[in-house]
């Protein structure tokens, strides 16, 4: 089943192969303003936390031999996060807590160290719950907005201050004693250690940073007790999103110890956040919190009968294949609707940014009239039950939880 999923993330077969539905999160409406909320703000005591699973993503194999060979990346594990949400009528705020035994902060003097970080992704189009943006940074015609926060050391320039006087070496200042101490304090005060960025994108390599101030967001990370707490506050509505009723979001975290960056991360599927007091979107809620009704065992048989493993690596014991995306972990971060669409309409979402020239003899797609057309067979001829069984099987392919 060539190119069954234009996505390519891998998750190992969960021991339980459970098809547990992802929980919906209730965002409590509060009167306190949330635009400057922090992880230790008292208002979080009103919120209800839910456990959200974050699954290792390997959509496109990282071109980094050292990173790929790390034991933690050879057999990646899923990670649990505690997530809560609030809204005040104008802004929505999320608090994400996850365990991380090592605090990795991006150094500004090293190109071989990597930081811990987290991101929250919002869907730019939600009208049809069955065709949400591709979970990996969106897809053509299905944009996403990504809020990214990383832990980093203080950076003194460029900080936008155009303050040349405080960029010189302290030993060249010509001042001593108290005056030098005052100079050092001024330099420290000018430093920037907030790596907070907002992007809009329609797939890999399409992310574009929003720099015009049109998104008024605030995010931060704090480390304590072997874990991170990440907060994000952003408007419910701007030119990129209109969040109401039931809001689909996805959360990602990076671990610097694992040389995590780009696709080496843990990612949740689209999860639903219901805004308290607003009419929920029943269709969206059902789509994001209901599992496939298919039969896993029959789905495995059907996948084999239709030759899926001829191109895809289906399970961890199968050999690696470059003919098509690996599916060994695909059940963790993919929705039922996405899996179904990928089977019957393989060209609906072709992973943006994938370089077909990397494997010229086995291209995953062709260019036809300027559009990417998957080389996978269109399995729209399969009967509905068979498709649902295959979807159920693929949803069972998940990494073990650490």
Q: What confidence tens digit (pLDDT) does each residue in 294-321 have?
A: 999 999 999 999 999 988 889 888 888 7
In this prediction, residue 358 carries a pLDDT of 67
Bigger pLDDT: 45 or 367? 45
Q: List the structure tokens of 54.
A: 């974050």
In this prediction, residue 366 carries a pLDDT of 86
Residue 283 has pLDDT above 90, yes or no: yes
Least confident among 22-36, 149-163, 282-296, 367-381: 149-163
Q: List the structure tokens of 301.
A: 């048989």
pTM, rounded to two decimals: 0.87
Residue 160 has pLDDT above 90, yes or no: no
Bigger pLDDT: 153 or 8? 153
The overall average pLDDT reported for the chain is 88
Question: What number of residues does the chain have?
Answer: 402
Q: List the structure tokens of 3.
A: 């190119």
pLDDT band at 60 (very low <50, low <70, confident <90, very high): low
């Amino acid at each position: 089943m060539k190119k069954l999923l234009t996505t390519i993330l891998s998750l190992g077969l969960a021991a339980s192969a459970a098809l547990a539905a992802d929980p919906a999160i209730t965002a409590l409406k509060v009167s306190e303003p949330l635009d400057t909320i922090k992880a230790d703000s008292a208002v979080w005591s009103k919120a209800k936390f839910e456990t959200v699973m974050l699954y290792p993503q390997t959509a496109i194999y990282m071109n980094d031999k050292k990173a790929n060979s790390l034991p933690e990346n050879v057999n990646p594990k899923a990670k649990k996060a505690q997530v809560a949400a609030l809204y005040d009528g104008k802004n929505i705020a999320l608090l994400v807590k996850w365990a991380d035994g090592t605090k990795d902060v991006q150094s500004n003097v090293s190109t071989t160290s990597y930081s811990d970080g987290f991101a929250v992704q919002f869907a730019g189009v939600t009208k049809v719950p069955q065709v949400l943006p591709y979970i990996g940074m969106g897809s053509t015609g299905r944009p996403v907005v990504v809020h990214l926060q990383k832990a980093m050391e203080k950076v003194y320039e460029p900080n936008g201050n155009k303050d040349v006087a405080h960029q010189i070496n302290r030993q060249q200042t010509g001042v001593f004693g108290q005056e030098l101490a005052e100079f050092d304090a001024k330099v420290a005060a000018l430093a920037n250690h907030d790596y907070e960025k907002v992007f809009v994108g329609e797939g890999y390599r399409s992310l574009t940073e929003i720099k015009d101030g049109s998104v008024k967001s605030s995010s931060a990370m704090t480390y304590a007790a072997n874990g991170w707490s990440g907060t994000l506050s952003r408007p419910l509505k701007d030119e990129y999103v209109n969040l109401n009723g039931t809001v689909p979001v996805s959360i990602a975290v990076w671990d610097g110890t694992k040389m995590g960056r780009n696709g080496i991360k843990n990612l949740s599927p689209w999860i639903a956040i219901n805004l308290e007091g607003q009419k929920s979107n029943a269709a969206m809620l059902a789509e994001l919190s209901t599992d496939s009704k298919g039969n896993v065992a029959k789905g495995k048989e059907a996948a084999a009968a239709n030759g899926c493993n001829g191109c895809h690596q289906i399970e961890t014991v199968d050999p690696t294949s470059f003919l098509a995306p690996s599916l060994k972990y695909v059940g963790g971060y993919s929705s039922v609707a996405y899996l179904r669409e990928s089977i019957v309409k393989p060209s609906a979402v072709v992973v943006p940014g994938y370089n077909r020239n990397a494997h010229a003899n086995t291209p995953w797609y062709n260019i036809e009239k300027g559009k990417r057309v998957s080389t996978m067979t269109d399995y729209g001829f399969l009967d509905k039950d068979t498709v649902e069984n295959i979807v159920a099987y693929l949803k069972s392919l998940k990494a073990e939880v650490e």
